Structure 1
Amino acid sequence: MDAMMMDAMASEMKSAGMQMMDMQVMQACMDACAACEQACTVCATQMMDCSVSCMNCADMCGTMMRSMLRMQGMTADTMTAMLDACIAMCRMCMDECRAHAEHSDVCRLCAQACQACMDACMAMRDSMTKMAS
């Protein structure tokens, strides 16, 4: 997302009375979700024994990313629950893919993308918590 779009979103969130979110952290989380979604989709076609966890993780990351873009009606509690679910799904997929990582570059990359997504979602959740206090 380019800087002009980020500035516009920040401005609209502020005028709507929402707590200001760290837009760079939000962008990092969305980017990591997108990378994880892509890696999981590729992994699911390569390693059928971990395909279900990869497909579920890809769906969760895609849903998280779309929800973050559509801030209207999103409460802090709802966003936190979504972030927690995304973190849990990424952790499960990462663990599954790590089991195959030494035999599959795709699973290794998927596990790395899941880790990045988990880290970004945790940073987003921490940023929201700091703003609320």
Structure 2
Amino acid sequence: MDTMMMDAMSESTMAGMPAMDMSMMQACMDACAACEQACTVCSTQMMDCAPACMNCADMCNTMMRSMMRMQGMTPASMMAMLDACIAMCQTCMDMCMMHADESPVCKMCAESCQACMEACMAMKDSLMADA
């Protein structure tokens, strides 16, 4: 995200929501984007994890888009979105870990899911601490 956009977003806050740490938000969006890409690649492997990968890719994309379009977001809806993204990444990571020894793509996907979960958890912790 470019500097002008981050400056504009940091100046506008959501109703009832504390100002977000823009660097943490950027890290979360980057992790979601990387996870979406890894899951999309992994879903083409035709393994048992393909449905979980496709669902995780969709959830990561939705989380990222929601964070960029914060108008109308409430603290409860942001927390629910973060929880959903964390849960979907956990499911996908667990499925991909079953194939990680035989598929470097599944291993990469599982690692991306873990990084995304960690970024979403950090974002959630930050929002809870500021509340």
Q: TM-score range by the shorter chain?
A: over 0.9
Letter in 2 for 1:102: D
For residues 26-56 of structure 1, what are the alpha-carbon distances to aligned partners after superposition, in whole Å with 9 as ceiling and x for unaligned? 1111100010010001000013321000000
Q: Which residue of 1 aligns with 2:116?
A: 117
Letter in 2 for 1:2: D
Q: Which residue of 2 aligns with 1:51?
A: 50
- TM-score computed with the length of structure 2 as normaliser: 0.95
Q: For 1:119 and 1:18, how far apart are their aligned partners in 2?
A: 21
Letter in 2 for 1:57: C
Displacement of 1:2:
2.0
Q: For 1:17 and 1:79, how far apart are their aligned partners in 2?
A: 12
Letter in 1 for 2:82: L
Single out whichever of 46-55 and 91-100 deviates more from structure 2: 46-55
Displacement of 1:5:
1.7
Letter in 2 for 1:35: A
2:97 is the counterpart of 1:98 = yes
Q: Which residue of 2 aligns with 1:74?
A: 73
Q: Which residue of 1 aligns with 2:5?
A: 5
Structure 1 runs of 4+ with >3 Å offset: none
Q: Which residue of 2 aligns with 1:126?
A: 125
- TM-score computed with the length of structure 1 as normaliser: 0.93
2:82 is the counterpart of 1:83 = yes
Task: Show structure 2 runs of 5+ residues with no match.
Answer: none
Alpha carbon RMSD of aligned pairs, Å?
1.4
For residues 72-103 of structure 1, what are the alpha-carbon distances to aligned partners after superposition, in whole Å with 9 as ceiling and x for unaligned? 11000110011001000000000100111111
Q: For 1:13 and 1:49, how far apart are their aligned partners in 2?
A: 42
Equivalent pairs: percent with the same residue?
Answer: 71
**When the two structures are aligned, how many residues end up with a matched partner?**
131
Task: Show structure 1 runs of 5+ residues with no match.
Answer: none
